């Protein structure tokens, strides 16, 4: 592609930051970046994939080459999609189906292009010997009918019913039948069958062995129990929660904390499958026989006795013990990656790619966060604390004694080698901080990125700071739903949200409550303590990571675990222009927030500065010694 590459492709200029993120890629692939061509495949690390996508999204890379198994996940608008062939993946005979074709071809000509006249193009290249009818079938096939994600085997219905009870949509036995008949599943199969299955699912949720719900005899309604609320808060389905609940109860009776292995076991999903497949009994046996004393105690508490070690070596483990042993083996990978800090070395030692191991660490960190939310709802603070610390260790790949650095607000972690250098040489760390400060003298602080579930127009949606790039954003935190000062602030912003939108500003609210709590509070009338509707997104910071990143999370005392009344004005470039943090008893002013926004927008546009108590239309100051006299001479 070198000498013959069209001139248009050479206009892409890959930033130093992107090249730095891709420094570990093979040289002949990385060299393409300078010619405006990028690549995307499952062998890239998460930060490498992010850098490639950012380069393509920003116009630095003009061509993106992706493998068939990953192309469907690259959710970026393009002008042209080219399919090199009609098969997908490595399996012989696996052809591209109409659904996947539409998913990938649909990226062409999306509305994100500035020039609305551009039409997207899709090219499907196939062998000349291929039957044309098959190709036309891929391109022109009708859409597959929509099918309900609920199941007559109760799995989907259990969670759906639990959510409905938690939201107050299903309170009485008669409403169970009504709820079942209102589902899409009831329109696709027998409604009576769906109702009967829903009642069976309801009975399962109320079993004493795993009580998610209970019948309140005094009020004559169903109500969610702590286990049910923990299931919803964590994101685990009821069936998965049964096993997680058992594992956590066992850990609470005796957690081995001399190493990270026991915590790592909890953070590995029971259904985790590595790219290289499950280890055989011989490998598990060798692992169990070579454990240190603390790790042998962890194995014993999990049911992996010395007898299990011998049985594993001869592939004679029972089915249940084999599942625990395979999960234990994966947990050992996670623990080794944290302890050694060398994911590439650990991956190579176990026959994996570094990307495979990084994917495992990401999934384990996500599970740790979900478990921490589960423990919070179950009122197990000691387990919640351990799991949140483990989440950071797994996600950041840092030692326990260093992971506290990642909790500091507004601190961006450097690379691993640079972090070690800073930790071992205080002087170097100070120089590093000054260098970063001097690099951006005109900026205050970059706003921490976030991505979370929010209630938007009565529905659950994922929102991120990236969604609002190019606009001013007001992000405010409040302590808790169903309180006293909080609804007055939230309603005040909601009633005047049009004033913010008229000047190009988006408003976002956030607390550590669940999205279900948000939704019920929004739907409750104002005269009954609710919000009575809302005109902007309300973010559920269940993991408390957003509150912590913005420095407003209370970590000690009677109010530990909730956010202070922090308000942040974020510029279109993602820079924090204003920070206000109130103590819990005092609310904030919508008028003052609007005044500050108009002042910042005025200075952005005109280059002048606004004096104290400035109001729209009042005099401003030209920021030079001579020109400023024009303002001061009038005082």
Residues 566, 552 contacting (CB under 8 angstroms): yes
Which of these is catalytic: 25, 241, 486, 610? 486
138 CA to centre of own chain: 34
**From CA 474, how far away is CA 535, in angstroms rounded?**
14
Task: Give the helix/strand (H/E) hosting 224.
Answer: strand 221-224
Among 72, 40, 70, CA closest to 53: 40
Name residue 121's beta-bridge partners. Answer: 80
The phi-psi region of residue 479 (left if phi > 0; otherwise alpha if psi is between -120 and 50; otherwise beta) is: alpha
The CA–CA distances, whole Å, from 487 to 363, 463, 506, 586, 594 equal 36, 22, 19, 12, 19
Would you give the DSSP letter of residue 123? Answer: E
Number of C-beta neighbours around residue 325 at 10 A? 27
**Distance in Å from the first CA to the final CA of the chain:** 67
**From CA 144, how far away is CA 210, in angstroms rounded?**
38
| Helix ranges, 483-559 (H) | 485-495, 497-502, 515-523, 545-549
The CA–CA distances, whole Å, from 19 to 3, 86, 612 equal 22, 32, 45
Query: Is there a catalytic annotation at residue 486?
Result: yes
Per the document, the length of the chain is: 635
Among 455, 503, 488, CA closest to 590: 488
Residues 208, 187 contacting (CB under 8 angstroms): no
Residues 365, 267 contacting (CB under 8 angstroms): yes
The CA–CA distances, whole Å, from 486 to 170, 489, 564, 611 equal 28, 5, 11, 31
Task: Give the helix/strand (H/E) hosting 421.
Answer: helix 416-424
The CA–CA distances, whole Å, from 48 to 20, 53, 261, 337, 564 equal 9, 9, 28, 19, 35
Q: What positions carry a catalytic annotation?
A: 486
């Amino acid at each position: 592609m070198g000498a013959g590459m069209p001139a248009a492709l050479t206009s892409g200029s890959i930033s130093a930051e992107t090249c730095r993120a891709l420094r570990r890629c093979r040289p002949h692939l990385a060299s393409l970046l300078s010619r405006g061509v990028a690549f995307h495949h499952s062998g890239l690390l998460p930060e490498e994939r992010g850098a490639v996508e950012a380069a393509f999204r920003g116009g630095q890379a003009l061509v993106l080459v992706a493998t068939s198994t990953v192309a469907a996940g690259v959710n970026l608008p393009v002008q042209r999609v080219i399919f090199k062939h009609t098969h997908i993946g490595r399996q012989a005979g696996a052809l591209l189906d109409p659904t996947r074709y539409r998913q990938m071809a649909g990226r062409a000509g999306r509305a994100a292009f500035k020039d609305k006249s551009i039409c997207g193009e899709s090219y499907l290249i196939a062998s000349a010997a291929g039957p044309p009818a098959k190709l036309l079938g891929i391109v022109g096939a009708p859409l597959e009918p929509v099918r309900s994600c609920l199941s007559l085997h109760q799995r989907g219905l259990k969670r759906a019913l639990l959510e409905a009870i938690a939201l107050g949509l299903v309170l009485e036995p008669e409403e169970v039948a009504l709820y079942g008949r209102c589902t899409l599943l009831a329109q696709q199969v027998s409604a009576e069958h769906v109702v009967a299955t829903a009642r069976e699912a309801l009975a399962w949720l109320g079993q004493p062995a795993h009580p998610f719900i209970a019948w309140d005899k005094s009020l004559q309604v169903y109500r969610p129990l702590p286990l049910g609320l923990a299931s919803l808060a964590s994101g685990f389905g009821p069936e998965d929660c049964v096993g997680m609940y058992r594992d956590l109860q066992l850990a609470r009776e005796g957690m081995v904390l001399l190493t990270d292995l026991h915590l790592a076991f909890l953070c590995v999903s029971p259904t985790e499958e590595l790219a290289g497949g499950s280890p055989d009994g011989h490998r598990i046996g060798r692992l169990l026989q070579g454990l240190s004393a603390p790790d042998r105690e962890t194995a014993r508490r999990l049911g992996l006795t010395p007898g299990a070690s011998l049985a594993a070596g001869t592939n004679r483990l029972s089915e249940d013990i084999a599942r625990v042993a395979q999960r234990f083996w994966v947990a050992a990978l996670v623990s080794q990656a944290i302890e050694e800090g060398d994911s590439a070395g650990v991956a190579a030692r176990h026959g994996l790619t570094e990307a495979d191991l990084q994917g495992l660490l990401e999934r384990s960190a996500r599970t740790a966060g979900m478990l921490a939310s589960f423990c919070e709802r179950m009122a197990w603070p000691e387990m919640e604390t351990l799991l949140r610390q483990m989440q950071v260790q797994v996600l950041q790949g840092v030692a326990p004694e260093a992971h506290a650095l990642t909790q500091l607000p507004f601190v961006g972690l450097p690379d691993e080698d640079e972090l070690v250098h800073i930790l071992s040489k205080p002087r170097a760390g100070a120089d590093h901080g000054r260098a970063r400060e001097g690099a951006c003298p005109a900026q205050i602080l970059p706003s921490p990125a976030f991505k979370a579930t929010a209630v938007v127009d009565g529905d659950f949606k994922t929102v991120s700071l990236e969604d609002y790039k190019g606009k001013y954003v007001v992000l405010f935190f409040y302590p808790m739903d169903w309180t006293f000062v909080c609804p007055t602030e939230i309603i005040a912003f909601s009633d005047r949200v049009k004033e913010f939108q008229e000047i190009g500003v988006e408003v976002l609210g956030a607390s550590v409550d669940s999205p279900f709590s948000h939704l019920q509070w929004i739907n409750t009338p104002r005269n009954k303590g609710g919000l009575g509707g809302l005109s902007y997104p309300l973010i559920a910071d269940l993991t408390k990571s957003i509150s912590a990143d913005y420095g407003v999370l209370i970590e000690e005392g009677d109010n530990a675990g909730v956010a202070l009344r922090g308000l942040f004005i974020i510029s279109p470039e993602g820079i924090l222009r204003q920070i206000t943090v109130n103590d819990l008893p005092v609310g904030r002013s919508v008028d003052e927030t609007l005044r500050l926004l108009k002042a910042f927008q005025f200075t952005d546009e005109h280059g002048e500065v606004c004096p104290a108590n400035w109001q729209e239309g009042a005099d401003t100051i030209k920021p030079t010694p001579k020109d400023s006299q024009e303002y001061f001479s009038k005082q």
